[in-house]
Structure 1
Amino acid sequence: MADIILLQSPPPKLEEVQKNIFSKAAKDFLVNLHREFDSKIDLLYKNRLKRLVDLQTRPTLEFKKSIERNDKTWNIAPLPTRLLNRHLDLGDVSASNTAHFVSALNSDIQGIQVDFDDGHCPTWKNQLVAFQNINLALKGNLPGAPLSISTCPVLMLRPRAWNMIEHNILIDGKEAIGPLVDFAILMFHNGQRLYEANSGPYFYLSKLEGASEALLWNEIFVWTQNELGLPQGTIKACVLIENIISTFELEEILYALKEHSLGLNCGIWDYCASVIAKFGERKEFLLPDRNKYVNMDRHFLDSYLRLVVATCHARGAPATGGMAAAMLKPGADVNDKHSKEIINKILDAKLKEIEAGVDGFMVYDSRVVPYVNELWKKNGDTPNQIFRKFTTNITSADLLTIPSGGVTLQGLKHNVAVSIMFIYHWLAGIGHFFYNGYVEDSATAEISRTQIWQWIRFSPPLEDDPTQHVTAKLVEKTVASFAAHAHKNLCRSNAERKRLTAARYMSTELFLSRNPPEFITSYLNDNHKFRTLHNKALLSNL
Structure 2
Amino acid sequence: MSAAAHAIATPFPSPRRPTPGITLTAGLSVQAELLPPAALALLVSLHRAIEPERQVRLAARRRRQAFFDGGGLPDFRDDTRAIREGQWQVAPIPQALADRRVEITGPVEPKMVINALNSGARVFMADFEDSTSPTWKNLLAGQRALIGAVRGDLTFDAAGKHYALRPHEEQAVLVVRPRGWHLDEKHVLVDGAPIAGGLFDLAVFAFHNARALAARDRGPYFYLPKLQSMEEAALWETALSHIEATLGLPQGQMKVTVLIETLPAVFEMDEILHALRDRIVGLNCGRWDYIFSYIKTFRRHADRVLPERGQVTMNQPFLKAYSELLIRTCHRRGAHAMGGMAAQIPINGDEAANEQALARVRADKLREVSAGHDGTWVAHPALIPVARAIFDEHMPQPHQHGVLRQDVAVTRDDLIRPCTGTITRAGFENNVEVCVRYLAAWLDGNGCVPIHWLMEDAATAEIARTQIWQWLHTPDVHLCDGAQIDHALLQRTLAALPARLGDAQKLPGGARVAEAIALLDELSRADELAEFLTLPAYARID
Settle same-fold status: TM greater than 0.5: yes
* Aligned counterpart for 2:234 among listed residues 191, 215, 219: 215
2:264 matches 1:245:
yes
Unmatched tracts of structure 2, length 5 or more: 1-18, 156-162
2:102 paired with 1:84: no
Aligned to 1:323: 341
Assess, with a 3 A threshold, how the Cα gap between structure 1 residues 479 and 228 changes in structure 2: closer, same or farther: same
Aligned to 1:294: 312
Judging changes above 3 Å, is the alpha-carbon distance between structure 1 residues 72 and 496 closer, same or farther for their aligned structure 2 residues? closer
User: Residue by residue, what CA displacement relative to the aligned partner does 1:331-390 show, whole Å, maximum 9, x if unpaired?
Assistant: x59xx3333222221111111011111001100110121222222211110100111111
What is the identity, as a one-letter code, of the residue corresponding to 2:246? Answer: E
Distance in 1, Cα, partners of 2:487 & 2:71: 29
Structure 2 equivalent of residue 277 of structure 1: 296
Displacement of 1:401 in angstroms is: 1.2
The answer to whether the 8 Å contact 2:438/2:449 transfers is yes
Q: Is the 8 A contact 1:2 1:27 kept in 2?
A: no
User: 1:345 matched to which residue of 2?
Assistant: 360
**Equivalent position of 1:6 in the other structure:** 24
Cα distance, 1:147 vs structure 2: 5.5
Q: Which residue of 2 aligns with 1:191?
A: 210
**What is the distance in 2 between the residues matched to 1:80 and 1:500?**
46
TM-score by length of 1: 0.92
Cα separation, 2, equivalents of 1:72 and 1:354: 27
Identity across matched positions, percent: 33
What does residue 303 of structure 1 align with? Answer: 321
Q: Does 1:25 align with 2:41?
A: no
2:401 maps to 1:407: no
Letter in 2 for 1:470: I
Q: For structure 1, which segment, 192-201 or 370-379, has the greater mean C-alpha deviation from structure 2 after superposition?
A: 370-379
Aligned partners of 1:485, 1:89: CA distance in 2, in Å?
A: 35
Please say if residues 510 and 516 of structure 1, whose CA atoms lie closer than 8 Å, have aligned partners that are also in contact. Answer: yes
Name 1:540's counterpart in structure 2: none
Q: Deviations over 1:242-266 (max 9, x none)?
A: 1110011110000000001121111
Q: Is the 8 A contact 1:164 1:179 kept in 2?
A: yes
Which is worse superposed, 238-247 or 49-58?
A: 49-58
Partner residue of 1:170 out of 189, 199, 204: 189
**Counterpart check, 1:41 vs 2:54:** yes
Q: Could you tell me whether the CA contact under 8 Å between 1:409 and 1:462 is conserved in 2?
A: no
1:433 aligns with 2:449: yes
Q: What is the aligned partner in structure 2 of residue 111 from structure 1?
A: 123
- Cα gap change, 1:492 to 1:324, in 2 (>3 Å): closer
**Residue identity matched to 1:36:** A
Structure-2 residue corresponding to 1:538 = none
Paired residues of 1:459 and 1:470 also in contact (CA < 8 A): no
Counterpart of 2:515 in structure 1 is: 502
Judge conservation of contact 2:314–2:320 (CA < 8 Å) in 1: yes
- The answer (yes or no) to whether the contact 2:113–2:149 under 8 Å persists in 1 is no
* Counterpart-to-counterpart distance in 1, 2:82 and 2:168: 37
Q: Secondary structure in 2 aligned to 1:323?
A: strand
- State the partner residue of 2:433: 417
1:386 aligned onto 2:404: no
- Look up the equivalent residue of 1:248 and give its one-letter code: F
Which of 455, 470, 474 is equivalent to 1:458? Answer: 474
2:235 equivalent to 1:224:
no
CA-to-partner distance for each residue in 1:307-326, whole Å, 9 max, x for gaps? 11110001010011111001
One-letter amino acid matched to 1:111 = V
Q: Which amino acid aligns with 1:313?
A: H
Cα distance, 1:234–1:254 mapped onto 2, change above 3 Å: same
| Distance of 1:492 and 1:131 partners within structure 2 | 29
Taking a change above 3 Å as real, the CA distance of residues 75 and 175 of structure 1, as seen in their structure-2 partners, is: same
Distance 1:3 1:463, change over 3 A: closer
Aligned partner of 2:133 in structure 1 is 121
CA distance in 1, matches of 2:72, 2:490: 30
2:389 corresponds to which residue? 374
2:465 partner amino acid: R
RMSD across aligned positions (CA): 1.8
Aligned twin of 1:56 = 69
Number of the residue aligned with 1:449? 465
8 Å CA contact retained: 1:116, 1:122: yes
Q: Which residue type is aligned with residue 77 of structure 1?
A: A
SS in 2 for 1:141: coil
Deviations along 1:127-176, one digit per CA (max 9) or x if unpaired, are 11100000011111112343644431111100011111111111111112
Asked whether 1:517 is paired with 2:517, we answer no
Q: For residue 41 of structure 2, give the secondary structure of its aligned residue in structure 1.
A: helix
Q: Within 2, Cα distance between the matches of 1:226 and 1:67?
A: 32
The answer as to whether partners of 1:149 and 1:197 remain within 8 angstroms in 2 is: no
Q: Tell me, yes or no, if the aligned pair for 2:122 and 2:173 is still in contact at 8 Å.
A: yes
Deviation of 1:406 after TM superposition, in Å, equals 2.0
1:485 Cα deviation from its structure 2 partner: 2.5
- What secondary structure is seen at the aligned counterpart in 2 of 1:491? helix
Which letter does structure 1 place at the counterpart of 2:146? I
Measure, in 2, the Cα distance between the counterparts of 1:154 and 1:171.
33
Q: What is the CA-CA distance between 1:270 and the residue it aligns to? A: 1.2
Give the Cα separation in 2 of the matches to 1:497 and 1:56.
36
